[in-house]
């Protein structure tokens, strides 16, 4: 009805005397007395003045709206012109998507907006980085922008004005001025007489006079801005009429009337306002109005062409600005030449001094880029993570700020504990056997990675005591229904106080010990060879009555040999003691218990012998899961986010410290049954002596890690050879037999470096080496250069078999050569399924879907699992199944086996459904976009095409285990009063 009200006022203005019409307007706004010349009392109440100012603002805005002409019949415009103007002003607020424009435009009687016919004329489409495209108004259309567009709301008007000021300042464009309007039709041509009638000019004089007197309580900046806009409209109207006809025929005489009444002319009042500091924002508009006065005056006097006058009026200011710029440029050039002259003099003086003191400089060591040659051994010491040439762990002081109490504290072993927020979840992202999750978890992580335990962190730090207080407050505040839908307090879940990420535990921060080698490691290495190292470890295990005493010595002589030295000889290679504060020890138990509980889906039990195993397993799984940079062609080090680096270092140090809080007998029994991360992290337990918490010295750890890593690397190479697939399977098996047989008898390395087998081995062990480099970097803190030298491997990794040929004669290897294994190496990198480019192909596939459990031909809800590609019948009672004694829908049941409870499904309505459990889920935008770069939920009818960038981000969301985090944040934003029954999906 607002547009029709304006039209009714325009009809009245075109039929009535302009002064009479404005008098009625003043009476309607109760401003007649205010503008009737009655002086305002000094004792006038401030509330009344504020009310009059507000009413004056609204009256001026109404007058601006009455001069609105973009209505067919009011002026000579078409419906297309009207739509173009609406679109221009919408895009002047901000760039908008196609759907936003459609929703914002009014519809005609056919429920059409007419956008398609005009959008290409006024706007440019700019595709977004992820496919979401926006329209931006063309530069040449900005001249039609009216800051007082009558369809704007108050907030839109403010936002549009600010946006256009910023854009025009960046483009050095004209300032905001009243646009050139179309001419009124003959029936409404008398409306413009309002702009030059006596009452209107009187209103303008009173407003500007109060501003010129700088009585701040009697005017507002909004009032002045609107008055200036109306003056601009009047001058533009007069200029247009003068240019279209002779001066004698033009009756519109605004510029002549406002110059009368000496001392109160608008020209003089504008000159005073220009100097007011409180109206600095309107200074450009005032300058333009003064120039327009001169232009109109020149046209009336026919003194010079319009363009020349316009240039002359701006010339003095422009010339002064040019002079200032030229002067600044001249001074800058002079300063530059002066600096160059001084630098040349200093260089000459330096050369003369060096020449005169040549003998002194010849005896001094050079610095800078010409350093003394560094030996190969010294170079390797800086970049090898273990072995006799291991580099040092630098001393780094780490001072962190608690996000709860904002106090700083240094991370030290004996200081109060500081913890990192973390979320532990079961995962099948790395699985090699999709859909087959074992009912009972094996003792060690299986090679097929059927299900693992991932531990991630958002990277925010708290004091342990602050976190415990925060958790206690959360547990006692259960009166918020919405909060209980987001987090499961019974399972220890909480939202990070800073970023609102979902967490269920904390990881204690354990600093690295700064160390350098003070002992002669190479001399010890000559004595501590691999056979000697194996004998020492075997003796230690037997002497401590661990796994060999429980199960006998059968099955171990092939690896350890018969001759055993004294079981205490391991202590001869150095031990040291390390202790942690009670707070850190307590947090180690808290984190380990959560990993054990979540990973095994069992009740908390810190005395369970699998607790340290689960800590090592989650460390290994997290390292492998985070190693996704290989497929993105990014360097291994330096490309991870800060929160990923912090979380990875914390989880590695947490896993390494588990032996201090677990039974040493349990750790020692696990040691002899392992091959992997757990072996590296559990070997320090062998140094325990009569209840004293000891660990190997830096030299002992360097050799332990090197020998373990080399043995595991050889085992992995054989795994790659034994599991090769394709046409060369037999060749690979023969190669593996050749390695073990020839090496066992001769110790020579077969020359297969240039063949396909060597290439397969290289591709197979590369993911393992990258994960190992990440792990040892977080464990030792040695700064890395390249992976190969960093891990102390020979240039040809097959050389390991010659160095350690006795190990290749193990009966277990010959047994593996004759058997078959299901896991293929290198393990494939799982990704979401491939989707067709056209969404109609999926709709066609869904139309042929039939529910496997129902024979009734009724409407179903086909759903596609993006993890494995299975088509399911969701949101229907026909496919309900039992899960943990509860009826659940097909998607919930499928996610339990396919994703360990986490699922990602594409529903028919072109939306993604994320599921994290039987009680939590959320929707997510689909990767299909229309031609305007927008999603089309509920299928309005636009053709949809796959956006590779969006699907890549969706794949990262799944690979990086961020689905739980996304669901929690979605539920935090959406205030849901009643829980949705996600278990029935």
pLDDT digits (tens, 9 = 90+) for 144-162: 898 899 999 888 998 998 8
Task: Please give the span between the terminal C-alpha atoms of the chain, in angstroms, as a whole number.
Answer: 46
What three-state secondary structure class fits 900?
coil
User: For residue range 415-446, what is the model confidence (pLDDT) as tens digits?
Assistant: 999 999 999 999 999 888 876 665 555 556 77
Instruction: Identify the CATH number of the domain in which residue 166 sits.
Output: 1.10.10.2670
pLDDT of residue 318: 43
Considering only 65-69, 421-425, 732-736, 878-882, which range has the smallest mean pLDDT?
732-736
Indicate the helix (H) or strand (E) that contains 135.
Answer: strand 134-137
Residues 195 and 166 in one domain: no
Inform me whether the pLDDT recorded for 371 exceeds 50: no
Residue 345 lies in a domain: no
Q: What is the residue range of 206's domain? A: 1-68+184-301
Tell me if 253 is assigned to some domain: yes
Sign of CA pseudo-dihedral 635, 641, 647, 650: positive
Do both 764 and 909 map to the same domain? no
Q: By CB neighbour count within 10 A (0-12 exposed, 13-18 middle, 19+ buried), where does 418 fall?
A: buried
Q: How many domains does the chain have?
A: 4
Question: Residues 6 or more apart from 129 whose CB is under 8 A from it?
Answer: 949
d(CA 845, CA 813): 48
Residue 930 near residue 950 (C-beta atoms within 8 A): no
Q: Quote the pLDDT of residue 377.
A: 44
Q: How confident is the model at residue 508 (pLDDT cuts 50, 70, 90)?
A: very high
Among candidate residues 390, 695, 671, the one with its CA nearest the CA of residue 571? 695
Same domain, 32 and 105: no
- Of 665-679, 799-813, 873-887, give the lowest mean pLDDT range: 799-813
Are the CB atoms for 696 and 574 separated by under 8 Å?
yes
Q: Is 556 a residue whose pLDDT tops 50?
A: no
> How far is residue 270's CA from residue 272's CA, in Å, rounded to a whole number?
5
Examine residue 393 and state whether it is found in any structural domain, yes or no.
no
| Cα 281 to Cα 274, 284, 647, distances in angstroms | 10, 7, 50
Instruction: Return the axis-axis angle of helices 464-476 and 582-600, rounded to nearest 10°.
Output: 50
Q: How confident is the model at residue 467 (pLDDT cuts 50, 70, 90)?
A: very high
As a whole number, the mean pLDDT across the chain is 78
Please check whether residue 234 is in contact with residue 64, taking contact to mean a CB–CB distance below 8 angstroms. Answer: no
- φ and ψ at 69, to 5 degrees? -125, -5
pLDDT band at 46 (very low <50, low <70, confident <90, very high): confident
C-alpha 215/C-alpha 53 separation (Å) is: 12
* DSSP assignment of 576-612: EE----HHHHHHHHHHHHHHHHHHHT----TT-TTHH
HSE-up of 18 (CA within 13 Å, CB side)? 19
pLDDT of residue 737: 57
Domain boundary among 148, 170, 192: 170
Mutual orientation of helices 18-28 and 2-15 as an angle, nearest 10°?
Answer: 140
Higher pLDDT, 187 or 640: 187
**DSSP string spanning 504-565?**
SEEEE--PPPPB---S-HHHHHHHS-HHHHHHHHHHHHHHTT-HHHHH-STTTHHHH-S---
For residues 786 and 672, what is the distance between their CA atoms, to the nearest angstrom?
A: 31
Is there a single domain that holds both residue 132 and residue 54? no
Write phi, then psi, for 215 (nearest 5 degrees).
Answer: -95, 95
Q: How far apart are CA 764 and CA 724, in angstroms?
A: 9
Pair (136, 283) in one structural domain: no
For 913, list phi and psi in degrees, rounded to 5.
-110, 120
Rounded CA-CA distance 689/191 in Å is 103
Using CA atoms, how far residue 602 sits from 53, 152, 606, 617, 901, in Å, is 71, 60, 11, 16, 15
Q: Which pair of structure tokens corresponds to residue 978? A: 């009643």
Q: Which run of H or E residues covers position 400?
A: strand 399-401
Which residue has 């002589």 as its token pair?
557
User: pLDDT tens, 561-575?
Assistant: 444 456 666 666 666
Q: Both 866 and 779 in a single domain?
A: no
Q: How far apart are CA 916 and CA 426, in angstroms?
A: 10
Give the count of alpha carbons within 13 A of 708, CB side only: 23
User: Is 50 exceeded by the pLDDT of residue 905?
Assistant: yes
Q: Give Cα 123 to chain centroid, integer Å.
A: 29
- DSSP label of 862: E
- Residues 410 and 279 reside in one and the same domain: no
Record the tokens describing residue 823, joined without a space. 């896991």
Q: Residue 312 falls within a domain, yes or no?
A: no
Residue 321 lies in a domain: no
Residue 651 contacts residue 588 (beta carbons within 8 Å):
no
Condensed to tens digits (0 to 9), the pLDDT of residues 768-783 reads 888 888 899 898 888 8
CA atoms within 13 A on the CB side of 84: 16
Of 110, 144, 170, which marks where a domain is finished? 170
Q: Which of 78, 75, 72, 69 is nearest to 114 (CA)?
A: 78
d(CA 423, CA 457): 6
- Name the nearest CA neighbour of 453 among 670, 615, 585: 615
Name the β-bridge partners of 873.
Answer: 862
pLDDT at residue 386 is higher than 90: no
Q: Choose the most confident range, by mean pLDDT, from 459-463, 795-799, 861-865.
A: 459-463
153 domain residue, yes or no = yes
CB atoms within 10 A of CB 51: 12
Closest listed residue to residue 271, CA positions, set 296, 289, 253, 258: 289
User: 750: Cβ–Cβ under 8 A, 6 or more apart, which residues?
Assistant: 735, 738, 739, 742, 798
Joined together, the tokens standing for residue 982 give 């996600």
Two tokens, residue 640 = 């991870």
pTM, entire model: 0.72
Bigger pLDDT: 165 or 87?
87
- pLDDT band, residue 682 (cuts 50/70/90): confident
CA-wise closest residue to 716 among 769, 758, 663: 769
Question: Do 296 and 154 share a structural domain?
Answer: no
Q: What percent of the chain has pLDDT over 90?
A: 20
Distance CA 258, CA 413 (A): 83
Token output for 514: 């700064």
How many Cβ atoms sit within 10 Å of the Cβ of residue 690? 5
Cα-flanking dihedrals φ and ψ of residue 124, to 5°? Answer: -115, 135
Is residue 529 in some structural domain?
no
301, 325, 343 - which closes a domain: 301
Same structural domain, 812 and 916: no
- Residue 534 domain-assigned (yes or no): no
With contact defined as beta carbons under 8 Å apart, do 687 and 570 qualify?
yes
d(CA 611, CA 206) in angstroms, rounded, equals 84
Q: 474 with 620, same domain?
A: yes
8 A C-beta contact, residue 947 and residue 927: yes
Secondary structure of 746-777 as H, E, C letters: CCCCCCCCCCHHHHHHHHHHHHHHHHHHHHHH
Return d(Cα 904, Cα 954) in angstroms, integer.
Answer: 9
Whether 491 and 586 map to the same domain: the answer is: yes
Domain identity same for 619 and 489: yes
Q: Which has more pLDDT, 888 or 365? A: 888
Alpha-carbon span 500 to 344, nearest angstrom: 59
816-838 pLDDT, tens digit per residue, is 555 555 677 778 888 999 999 99
């Amino acid at each position: 009805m607002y547009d029709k009200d304006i039209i009714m006022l325009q009809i009245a203005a075109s039929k009535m005397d302009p002064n009479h019409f404005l008098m009625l307007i003043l009476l309607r706004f109760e401003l007649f007395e205010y503008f009737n010349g009655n002086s305002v009392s000094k004792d006038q109440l401030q509330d009344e003045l504020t009310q009059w100012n507000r009413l004056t603002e609204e009256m001026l805005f109404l007058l601006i709206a009455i001069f609105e002409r973009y209505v067919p019949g009011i002026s000579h415009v078409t419906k297309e012109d009207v739509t173009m103007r609406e679109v221009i002003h919408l895009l002047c607020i901000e760039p908008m998507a196609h759907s936003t424009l459609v929703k914002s435009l009014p519809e005609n009687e056919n429920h059409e907006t007419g956008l398609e016919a005009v959008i290409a004329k006024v706007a440019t489409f700019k595709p977004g980085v992820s496919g979401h495209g926006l329209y931006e108004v063309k530069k040449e259309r900005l001249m039609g922008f009216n800051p007082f567009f009558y369809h704007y709301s108050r907030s839109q008007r403010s936002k549009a004005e600010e946006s256009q000021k910023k854009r025009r300042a960046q483009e050095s464009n004209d300032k905001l001025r009243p646009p050139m309007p179309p001419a009124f039709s003959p029936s409404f041509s008398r409306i413009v007489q309002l702009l030059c009638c006596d009452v209107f000019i009187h209103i303008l004089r009173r407003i500007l006079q109060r501003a010129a007197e700088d009585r701040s309580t009697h005017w507002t900046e909004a009032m002045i801005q609107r008055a200036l806009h109306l003056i601009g409209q009047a001058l533009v109207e007069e200029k247009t009429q003068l240019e279209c006809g002779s001066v004698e025929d033009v009756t519109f005489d605004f510029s002549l009337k406002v110059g009368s009444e000496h001392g109160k002319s608008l020209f003089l009042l504008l000159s005073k306002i220009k100097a007011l500091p409180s109206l600095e924002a309107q200074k450009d508009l005032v300058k333009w109005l003064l120039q327009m006065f001169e232009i109109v005056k020149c046209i009336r006097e026919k003194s010079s062409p319009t363009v020349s006058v316009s240039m002359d009026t701006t010339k003095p200011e422009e010339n002064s600005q040019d002079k200032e710029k030229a002067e600044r440029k001249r001074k800058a050039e002079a300063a530059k030449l002066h600096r160059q002259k001084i630098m040349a003099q200093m260089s000459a003086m330096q050369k003369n001094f060096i020449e005169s003191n040549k003998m002194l400089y010849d005896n001094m060591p050079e610095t800078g880029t010409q350093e003394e040659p560094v030996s190969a051994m010294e170079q390797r010491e800086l970049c090898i993570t273990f072995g006799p040439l291991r580099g040092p762990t630098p001393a780094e002081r780490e001072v962190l700020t608690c996000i709860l109490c904002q106090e700083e504290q240094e991370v030290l072993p004996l200081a109060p504990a500081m913890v990192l927020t973390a979320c532990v979840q079961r995962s099948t992202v790395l699985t090699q056997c999709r859909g087959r999750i074992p009912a009972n978890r094996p003792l060690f992580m299986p090679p097929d990675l059927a299900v693992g335990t991932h531990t991630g962190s958002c990277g925010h730090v708290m004091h342990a005591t602050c976190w415990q207080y925060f958790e206690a407050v959360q547990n006692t505040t259960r009166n918020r229904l919405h909060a209980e839908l987001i987090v499961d307090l019974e399972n220890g879940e909480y939202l990070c106080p800073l970023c609102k990420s979902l967490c269920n535990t904390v990881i204690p921060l354990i600093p690295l010990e700064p160390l350098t080698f003070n002992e002669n490691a190479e001399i010890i290495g000559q004595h501590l060879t691999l056979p000697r190292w194996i004998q020492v470890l075997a003796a230690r295990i037997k002497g401590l009555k661990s796994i060999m005493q429980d199960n006998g010595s059968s099955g171990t002589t092939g690896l350890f040999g018969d001759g055993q030295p004294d079981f205490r000889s391991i202590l001869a290679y150095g031990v040291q003691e390390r202790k942690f504060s009670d707070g850190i020890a307590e947090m180690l138990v808290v984190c380990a218990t959560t990993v054990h509980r979540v990973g095994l889906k069992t009740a908390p039990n810190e005395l369970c012998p699998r607790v340290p195993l689960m800590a090592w397993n989650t460390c290994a799984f997290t390292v492998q899961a985070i190693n996704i940079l290989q497929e993105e062609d990014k360097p291994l080090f330096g490309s991870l986010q800060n929160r990923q680096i912090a979380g990875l270092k914390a989880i590695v140090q947490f896993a390494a410290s588990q032996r201090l809080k677990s039974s040493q007998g349990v750790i020692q029994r696990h040691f002899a049954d392992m091959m992997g991360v757990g072996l590296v992290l559990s070997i320090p337990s062998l140094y325990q002596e009569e209840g004293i918490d000891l660990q190997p010295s830096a030299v002992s750890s360097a050799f332990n890690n090197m020998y373990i890593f080399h043995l595991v690397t050889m085992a992995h190479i054989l795994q790659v050879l034994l599991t090769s697939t394709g046409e060369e399977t037999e060749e690979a098996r023969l190669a593996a037999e050749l390695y073990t047989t020839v090496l066992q008898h001769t110790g020579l390395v077969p020359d297969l470096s240039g063949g396909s087998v060597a290439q397969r081995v290289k591709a197979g062990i590369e993911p393992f080496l990258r994960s190992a480099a990440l792990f040892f970097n977080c464990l030792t803190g040695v700064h890395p250069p390249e992976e190969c030298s960093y891990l102390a491997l020979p240039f040809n990794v097959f050389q390991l078999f010659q160095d350690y040929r006795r190990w290749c004669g193990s009966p277990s290897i010959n047994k593996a050569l004759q058997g078959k294994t299901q896991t293929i190496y290198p393990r494939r990198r799982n990704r979401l399924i491939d989707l067709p480019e056209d969404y109609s192909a999926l709709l066609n596939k869904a139309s042929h879907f039939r529910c496997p459990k129902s024979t009734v031909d009724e409407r179903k809800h086909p759903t596609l699992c993006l993890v494995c590609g299975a088509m399911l019948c969701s949101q229907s009672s026909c496919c309900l199944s039992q899960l943990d004694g509860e009826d659940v829908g097909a998607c919930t049941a499928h996610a339990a086996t396919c994703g360990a409870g986490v699922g990602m499904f594409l529903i028919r309505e072109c939306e993604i459904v994320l599921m994290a459990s039987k009680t939590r889920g959320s929707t997510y935008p689909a990767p299909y976009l229309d031609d305007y770069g927008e999603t089309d939920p509920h299928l309005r009818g636009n053709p949809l095409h796959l956006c590779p960038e969006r699907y890549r981000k969706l794949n990262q969301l799944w690979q990086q285990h961020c689905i739980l985090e996304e669901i929690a944040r979605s539920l935090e934003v959406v205030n849901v009063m009643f829980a949705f029954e996600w278990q029935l999906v």
